[in-house]
Amino acid sequence: MKIKMAFELLFWVVLIASFCLQYGDGRMTLSITDFLSDSDNTNADHSQAFQDAWKALCKAKGGKEAPSLIIHANETYTVRPQLFQGPCVSRNLHIRIDGTIEAPKTVREWGSQRSEYWLCFERVTGLVLDGSGLLNPHGAAWWSSVAANSRPEAMRFSGCKDIIYNGLTQLDSPKIHIAISGCINATLSNLHLIAPANSPNTDGIDISFSHNIRILSSSIKTGDDCVAIRGGSYDINVTRVTCGPGHGISIGSLGREGATDTVQNVNVRHCTFTGTQNGARIKTWDGGRGFAKNILYEDITLINAQFPIIIDQHYCNGGHCTTATAVKVSDVTFRYFKGTCADAIAIKLDCDQKVGCDNIVMEHINITSSAPKTPLSAYCQFANVIRRFVNIPIRCGSHKLLQPLAPYSDQPPSPYPQPQPPAPHAQSSMFSSFLYFM
């Protein structure tokens, strides 16, 4: 046994040393081809080569430059579900994908042991994953044959820190394209996430229990939420994302099955929604607890979006619904919206009768119908709305459990989001007694 371990150790030492380039800074570059056996050249499954390459990369000591793993543009590999697990020796790793990585084309070929993901990085710090390549899990095989809760995510980052994911294209995920869970300080940029509009539950990017997350300059065209920011998340920035088709950029859903969920300090700026079911959306389940607060949607362009602005505290999605409690929604700003709406109702604020929505600020909203000369309306109940330069009338029903409101003020609202819960506004608009019905 000792001899076997010694030979294994010697193998890794020789392998790592053989990949060191002539740079004085000690940079190491690996290639998948270095880990392929003779049988792998004709084998359709390259999973073991990827595991061996990851182990070598993870064990490598970082010098001035990060140890790197390169997949070249002319390379295509097929892999089954992969867990790339840390922590690694170096806190500065680089994987560049210019080629294609794909999953087996049928569900059966994935293997009998079902996984929650296809590719997963777990407890990894300081990873840069970039390139111009393609990740194709062939998710269409799953959509009609496997229930949504049994389908895998395409890419997952779990418990990671200081991550950069840039430049790649992902096609047709079985479910969520990218899941970020329990992560700190991640930047996702210049990504292209693509799936048909009717592909079920194919969210672009889902974020949960994470903070300091940035999504920048990306195109997301999927069958569900382009971005979903779920419970336990804060300090989230989404900037210059084009969304559509899809269900918009959503806070939630929150509070499912009575859960206590919290989301705060979210900025969504300079984004475009094209042909989406929703634009800026906050969705919370009946019976949930917790809060969504300090949220800003700003400089939003709408092209034939069905519901440009929506807060739904009665989100149910076919489940068992109750009205016993609700997730509190407050301190939300919608600012500088322009473009066209495909539905008759451009603004929908469906808030809970007992909890209500507080300090909902709308400024410089200019939305017109996609159909010429068709007026738009708003549906609003139990929401405290502050309006400035909004081209659609908003009148809300009130309730005795809501606090009385001070007269309307022209003073600008406090900046959003704020790192700490903001102090209550001294002035806000008053409810009208009129309720628009759909």
User: Is pLDDT of 297 > 70?
Assistant: yes
Catalytic residue among 94, 138, 247, 425: 247
Nearest to 67 by CA among 97, 31, 13, 119: 31
- Using CA atoms, how far apart are residues 249 and 277, in angstroms rounded to an integer? 10
- Bridge partners of 347, per DSSP, are 309, 378
Ranges of each domain in the chain: 26-390
pLDDT in tens, 304-352: 999 999 999 998 765 556 667 899 999 999 999 999 999 999 999 999 9
| Burial class of residue 42 (count of CB atoms within 10 Å of its CB; 0-12, 13-18, 19+) | exposed
Write the CA distances from 281 to 148, 290, 332, integer angstroms: 22, 17, 11
Band of residue 9 on the pLDDT scale cut at 50, 70, 90: very low
The secondary structure of residue 354, as a DSSP letter, is T
Residues across the chain: 438
Q: Which tokens hold the place of 398?
A: 């009130």
Decide if pLDDT at 62 tops 80.
no
DSSP H helical segments within 278-371, as ranges?
none
Per DSSP, helices labelled H in 267-407 are none
Q: What is the bridge-based pairing of β-strands 184-189 and 345-350?
A: unpaired
The pLDDT score that the predictor gives to residue 114 is 84
pLDDT in tens, 17-57: 444 433 334 568 999 999 998 655 556 899 999 999 999 99
Instruction: Name the least confident of 188-192, 294-298, 414-418, 430-434.
Output: 430-434
To the query of whether residue 247 is one of the catalytic residues in this protein, the response is yes
DSSP letter (8 states) at residue 115: -
pLDDT category at 111 given cuts 50, 70, 90 is confident
pLDDT level of residue 413 (50, 70, 90 thresholds):
very low
Tens of pLDDT, residues 225-254: 999 999 999 999 999 999 999 999 999 999
The answer, yes or no, to whether the previous bond of 253 is cis (omega within 30 of 0) is yes
Interval 374-387 mean pLDDT: 96
CA distance 385 to 333: 10
DSSP code string of 47-61: HHHHHHHHHHHHHSP
Residues of the chain with pLDDT > 70: what percent? Answer: 81
pLDDT digits (tens, 9 = 90+) for 265-289: 999 999 999 999 999 999 999 999 9
Residue 374: exposure state from Cβ atoms within 10 A (0-12, 13-18, ≥19): exposed
Least confident of 57-61, 379-383, 429-433: 429-433
The pLDDT of residue 1: 46
Per-residue pLDDT at 339: 98
Cβ(91)–Cβ(60) below 8 Å:
no
Each residue of 156-174: pLDDT tens digit?
999 999 999 999 999 999 9
Q: Which residue has the higher pLDDT, 436 or 345?
A: 345
Which CATH fold would you assign to the domain 26-390? Pectate Lyase C-like (2.160.20)
Cβ-based neighbours of 35, under 8 Å, separated by 6 or more: 49, 50, 52, 53, 56
Q: Is 12 helix (H, G, I), strand (E, B) or coil?
A: helix
Task: For residue 184, give the 3-state DSSP assignment.
Answer: strand
Tens of pLDDT along 65-89? 789 999 999 999 999 999 999 999 9
Q: Is it the case that residue 97 has pLDDT exceeding 70? A: yes
Q: Which are the contacts of 257, defined by CB distance < 8 A and separation ≥ 6?
A: 285, 287, 319
Is 280 in contact with 309 (CB distance < 8 Å)? yes
Torsion sign (Cα): 350, 278, 217, 95? positive
- Both tokens of residue 86? 């840390």
Find out whether 280 and 310 touch, Cβ atoms under 8 Å. Answer: yes
Question: CB–CB of 287/300 below 8 Å?
Answer: no
For 292-322, give the secondary structure using H, E and C: EEEEEEEEEEEEEECEEEEEEEEECCCCCCC
Chain mean pLDDT for the chain: 86
Q: What stretch of H or E contains 152?
A: none
Q: What angle do CA 249, 388, 364 make, to 5 degrees?
A: 50
Average pLDDT rounded to a whole number, residues 169-187: 98
pLDDT digits (tens, 9 = 90+) for 113-151: 889 999 999 999 999 999 999 999 999 999 999 999 999
pLDDT value, residue 26 = 52
Q: 10 Å Cβ neighbour count for 150?
A: 12
Note the pLDDT tens digit of each residue in 359-372: 999 999 999 999 99
Would the pLDDT of 411 be above 80? no
Q: Which of 34, 10, 29, 32 is nearest to 19 (CA)?
A: 29
DSSP state of 201: T
Q: Which two tokens stand for residue 273?
A: 């929604």
Contact present, 122 and 153 (Cβ < 8 Å): no
The answer to whether 154 and 203 have CB atoms below 8 angstroms apart is no
CA dist., res. 116 & res. 241, Å (int): 27
